[in-house]
Structure 1
Amino acid sequence: MGSHYSLKYLAGEGSPEPAALKAEVEALLAQVDQQMSTWRSDSELSEFNRLPAGSCRVMPDAVLALVRSGEQLSRDSDGAFDLTVSPLLELWGFGPQSRGERVPTADEIAAVQASVGHRHLRIEGQQLCKSAAVHLDFNSIAAGYTVDLVAARLAERAVSSYLLDVTGEIRAAGHKPDGSPWRIAIEAPRDDQQVAQKVLSLDGLGVSTSGDYRNYFERDGQRYSHTLDPQTGAPITHRLAAVSVVDPSTLRADGLSTLLMVLGPERGFAYAEQAGIAAFFVTRTDKGFATRATPAFERRFGEGVKP
């Protein structure tokens, strides 16, 4: 996935040796990479992306499941979440095949948007089909899916206490050797250094954070985030700096954090509140950063642990 992973766990009776467990975990990571990577030309997703409009291809169950998950998130958010924005990312210079950051014209954006949207995809049995030259990108949910995939394997191998991190998507279960809970920090959205905004205790939950403070560029005093609004074809312009979502499904947390980041501080908070999503919002103000938690987040964590 072009990034990192980390697994800390408490060995129990019947759990495998570290070297054996590491090999199993890395085999799962390699499998996901082969199926879903947009950074390697021989992945099954890249091969699908190269197909012309009107084509179909037999795809793994995991790929079809993520397409269905993305389509559901897209429907639920009226298109704020979209797995087909890859051509727009390339156009703005954020994609794996892009030739540098740039601000495209309105006509260029409109031309690319013609092949963006879940309406161009359909599943027929084991085949994924496209009615336009759609390019899929699972970067907004693949890591969360992978965390859940590895967690399921850990359960099969009698590993019930662990802290798992795949490219920044995190899941924890059980307790540390001293009986205390696993604690993770939600990072403050700062460009200059890593600072903990809030510390949470996790058990059986996944957490995902999306933000615009790492991957962006500036032109003529304007900041352009790598988070794009599929409906405008352009980077988000609101003041939401970061949003974290906690959910029993890390895949769902991963997708929802992106969805809420696109919707912004007002629409996103209203969406999360109505849907019962445990989310923590960090918004830029003229006086610095302001934080706000949904009722579901507050019920689960209260005030959390301030660093």
Structure 2
Amino acid sequence: MGSLRQVVIVCGFAALAGCDGDSLESFGGPTMGSTYSIKYVRTPGVPGPDEVQRQVEGVLAEVDRQMSTYRGDSDIERFNDLPANSCQPMPESILHLVRTGERLAEASNGAFDLTVEPLLNLWGFGPQAREIKVPDAVTLEQVRQRVGHAHLRIEGQQLCKDAAVEVDFNSIAAGYAVDRIAAQLTRLGIQSYLGEVTGELKAAGRKPDGSLWRIALEEPRDDQQVAERIIGVNGFGVSTSGDYRNYFQQDGQRYSHTLDARTGAPITHPLASVTVLQPSALMADGLSTLLLILGPEQGWEYAEKHQVAAFFVMREGTGFVTRSNKAFEQLTAVKP
């Protein structure tokens, strides 16, 4: 399981200053193997971009140090290296994400699972992957024995495991980082901003010209970038999960990096991408992955039942068809 983020940010820069002298500041840089970007409205008393960038990158460094599966000294990778029946003290942020993953696993009947890293590696998509190929049935079944959220438990401030499971936060860590950044910007007195980390984002307030922050939802193509729809966002996290950039083909079959933990194999249904809007970028991140795994029918039923604002893009022939629910249309009814 993984979450490919392909939300394209479209911000109008025609009006950089409002009538009261407010200005639109922006900065960004590399993070989590990808990039981040911040745009905010600087009002009197709000720090300049150098100070805001320093604080934002402090948040990103902490998240990377705790949750990265691409560095051996992170908190979660040290836990992943432990054998079965081990415990390790963990910061509250990691325990919070483990609890979030447990709720999402239970809500999806096990389709979403934070412990799929061994499967990702086996199929060639993980941080320790050696070869991209379809695994044989015996090896797949062996690796599946090391997967399952039920093997994790929290004891006080410790994370414990009763099997040699490995936790992968890639499906929710970026959304969590966005929420942390949004909270930090608010503490700095910034009321209008657009924060994005590896494509996960959250926007609040309006630009100096009074318009909403505009987000373009990308058509799920692997050959070019095409905007499927542009929405205005104020006060919500936005996450798009898709299966169209990270995949391989073997014997005429397409294998996505998005895995269903119930089968241990990539998804095969025609749902190409899902965009979710939620007050929390963390939950938008997790739910977009959950719905993508469940597919066009089960995912739609889940979104309707739980009132998750969702925008679905399905493959049909050589093109795509889209579907959005009432909750999504209500949140995006205000024109950008």
Query: Could you say which TM-score interval applies, normalised by the shorter chain?
Result: over 0.9
For 1:117 and 1:275, how far apart are their aligned partners in 2? 24
1:251: Cα distance to partner?
0.2
1:304: Cα distance to partner?
7.0
Higher normalized contact order (CA 8 Å, seq sep 6+, divided by chain length)? 2
1:302: Cα distance to partner?
4.2
The normalised TM-score by structure 2 is 0.89
For 2:55 and 2:300, how far apart are their aligned partners in 1? 39
- For 1:231, the equivalent position in structure 2 comes to 262
1:299: Cα distance to partner?
2.1
Assess if the C-alpha contact under 8 Å between 2:276 and 2:287 holds in 1: yes
Assess if the C-alpha contact under 8 Å between 1:182 and 1:203 holds in 2: yes
3-state SS of the aligned residue for 1:4? strand
- For 1:268, the equivalent position in structure 2 comes to 299
Structure 1 regions of 5+ residues with no counterpart? none
1:204 paired with 2:235, answer: yes
Amino acid at match of 2:172: I
- For 2:79, the equivalent position in structure 1 comes to 48
- The within-5 A match list for 1:68-87 is 68-87=99-118
* Deviation readout 1:7-28 (Å, 9 max, x if unpaired): 0110112211211110010011
1:159: Cα distance to partner?
0.5
- For 2:35, the equivalent position in structure 1 comes to 4
Assess if the C-alpha contact under 8 Å between 1:4 and 1:166 holds in 2: yes
Out of 295, 299, 306, the residue aligned to residue 330 of structure 2 is 299
1:221 paired with 2:252, answer: yes
- The within-5 A match list for 1:89-168 is 89-168=120-199
For 1:60 and 1:287, how far apart are their aligned partners in 2? 47
1:100: Cα distance to partner?
2.2
The normalised TM-score by structure 1 is 0.98
Out of 286, 301, 308, the residue aligned to residue 255 of structure 1 is 286
- For 2:89, the equivalent position in structure 1 comes to 58
- For 1:15, the equivalent position in structure 2 comes to 46
1:287: Cα distance to partner?
5.2
Distance 1:287 1:304, change over 3 A: farther
- Kindly tell me the number of residue pairs found equivalent between the two proteins: 305
Structure 2 regions of 5+ residues with no counterpart? 1-31
Amino acid at match of 2:157: Q
3-state SS of the aligned residue for 2:248? strand
Distance 1:135 1:12, change over 3 A: same
For 1:262 and 1:24, how far apart are their aligned partners in 2? 35
Runs of 4+ in 1 over 6 A off after TM superposition: none
Moved more, 255-264 or 97-106: 97-106
* Deviation readout 1:247-275 (Å, 9 max, x if unpaired): 10000000000000100001100111111
Assess if the C-alpha contact under 8 Å between 1:199 and 1:304 holds in 2: no
Distance 1:304 1:255, change over 3 A: farther
Assess if the C-alpha contact under 8 Å between 1:13 and 1:158 holds in 2: no
Assess if the C-alpha contact under 8 Å between 2:312 and 2:324 holds in 1: yes
3-state SS of the aligned residue for 1:10? strand
